[in-house]
Amino acid sequence: MDLVTLIPGAVSLADLRAIGAGARVELADSAWDAIGAAAAQVGAILASGRTVYGVNTGFGLLAQTRIADERLGELQRNLILSHSCGLGEPLDRSIVRLLIALKVIGLGRGHSGVRRVIVERLLAFLEADVLPVIPSQGSVGASGDLAPLAHMSAPLIGEGAMLLDGEVVPASVALERLGLEPLVLGPKEGLALINGTQVSTAIALDALFTSERVFAAALVAGGLSTDALKGTDVPFDARIHAARGQPGQIAVAEIMRVLLADSEIRSSHADCGKVQDPYSFRCQPQVMGAVLDLLRHAARTLETEANAATDNPLLFDEEALSGGNFHAQPIAFAADMLAMACCEIGSMSERRTAVLVDPKLSGLPPFLVADSGVNSGFMIAHVTAAALVSENKSLAFPASVDTVPTSAGQEDHVSMATHAGTKARRIAGNAAGVVGIELLAACQGVDFHTPLKSSQRLEVARAAVRAEIPHLASDRYLAPELEWAKRAVLDGMLTGEIEGVLFQ
């Protein structure tokens, strides 16, 4: 299994993809020195007798309340317990792995003041793959992802629940089986653990990685659909896109040219009188290029945030500065971008499927099946795609424009970043289903041009589909085939080369 060494401030998207997929994690040696120095600063603050928020005060509206030194441990424990108020289905394992790694990165920046043992325990959870059970609802994305991060932190003190060998067990039981004792939190440690944007960022990163695979699959599906339609590749000419200059558009046009290069189907109608294809075919570089630019912008934002120190207050040379790095507005905007981008991927894909099943537009058998009438072919598969696209449109309204004041008005503007990320993940999953349906429809359409073949690259994709899903000669039970196609999109089965070119 791969090993990722976390260098706080320099962790890459490739590292984060690997962690989400199950790679082992360690912290760079240099980060331990920074963690130790910050913990020493907390000790110096206490020794000085100063009143510092989060170290020896209450929280939120109670920030002006000084806490006696002998109750500081109780304060931090109560903080975790009182904030463990999440609801909803647990976060996926891959997201929990990501958010724990992100918390380790943030603490490793050396501005949080936790002791080494706290970070070691989080890494131990990752190493053992025994993970906290974290409800997916309860964060508004400001003052940190308080509730879900409290659920992440509760097992450190023997509270909450953990997933052990596929079974949800009390954290105390999981710790016992791992040979670990519950920790007693020191000053500021509870606050450092639950303050921060790690949950919002992990959810958004998961949505980003899914969006990248859906995007790449949509390019392959779009290429196959172009050949199924006997469409033209003239709209992908580099000169058209250089004249506009949009980088994503230029990149997508180049990929479409590569995908369709040397297609026998394209060569067979090079001199036909057809001038223009529908926009969903002709404007793939313009629309998908704009999507690519959004994905890349969101990726830059999330990579930066993944390396950030986002708890509060932050420590600098024995000075505790209270600010607002916990506010997740950048992540909320990035997640909403992903939602819009995937909404458009699905919309374009559904329109291409609609063209292919319509004999008036495609010149192919009605609903892509011989003996139509007795057979309905891809009629309802397209309806499913339309249903998913409609659902995505209703989900795509940006979460980031909403705010509900909390904590008696102290936290009077919030980002809703976790909600934005959750919606983006659902939209990306729906888009994967839409693109999967197009892949099956496009392969069916290309089948009708036999013995002519598509390009070498697209034939590799079609062969992969046909290895699992045979040509639809007559109606059969299609639901498992649609599910397979969706999973192929989500797993990147057909698109590894494209993803490697577009997303670093």
Q: Do residues 405 and 411 touch, judged by C-beta distance below 8 A?
A: yes
> Tokens 């999330």 belong to which residue?
302
Catalytic residue among 32, 53, 448, 484: 53
Which DSSP letter does residue 451 get?
T
> Which residues does 436 contact at the CB level (< 8 Å), separation at least 6?
217, 482, 484, 485, 486, 487, 488, 489
Q: Which two tokens stand for residue 104?
A: 């380790």
DSSP 133-171: --EEE---SSSSSHHHHHHHHGGGGT-SEEEETTEEEEH
**3-class DSSP state of 191:** helix
Task: Give the separation between CA 208 and CA 185, rounded to whole angstroms.
Answer: 34
Closest to 266 measured CA to CA, from 292, 319, 228: 228
Q: Do residues 75 and 183 touch, judged by C-beta distance below 8 A?
A: no
Q: Do residues 204 and 335 touch, judged by C-beta distance below 8 A?
A: yes
Q: Is the sign of the CA dihedral 178, 80, 206, 468 positive or negative?
A: positive
Q: Please name the helix (run of DSSP H) or strand (run of DSSP E) that holds residue 89, with its range, or none.
A: strand 87-90
> Which residues does 479 contact at the CB level (< 8 Å), separation at least 6?
none
Biggest distance spanned by C-alpha atoms of the chain: 87
Rg of the chain (C-alpha set): 26
Q: Do residues 278 and 355 touch, judged by C-beta distance below 8 A?
A: yes
Closest to 157 measured CA to CA, from 118, 116, 128: 118
The torsion angles phi and psi of 383, rounded to 5 degrees, stand at -60, -40
> Tokens 């494209």 belong to which residue?
498
Our answer to whether residue 477 is catalytic in this structure is: no
Q: Do residues 304 and 102 touch, judged by C-beta distance below 8 A?
A: no
Q: Is the sign of the CA dihedral 228, 231, 232, 233 positive or negative?
A: negative
Amino acid at 240: I
The torsion angles phi and psi of 206, rounded to 5 degrees, stand at -60, -40
Q: Do residues 106 and 197 touch, judged by C-beta distance below 8 A?
A: no
C-alpha distances in Å from residue 360, one per residue of 282, 367, 440:
18, 11, 20
HSE-up of residue 184 (Cα within 13 Å, Cβ side): 4
Q: Which residues are catalytic?
A: 53
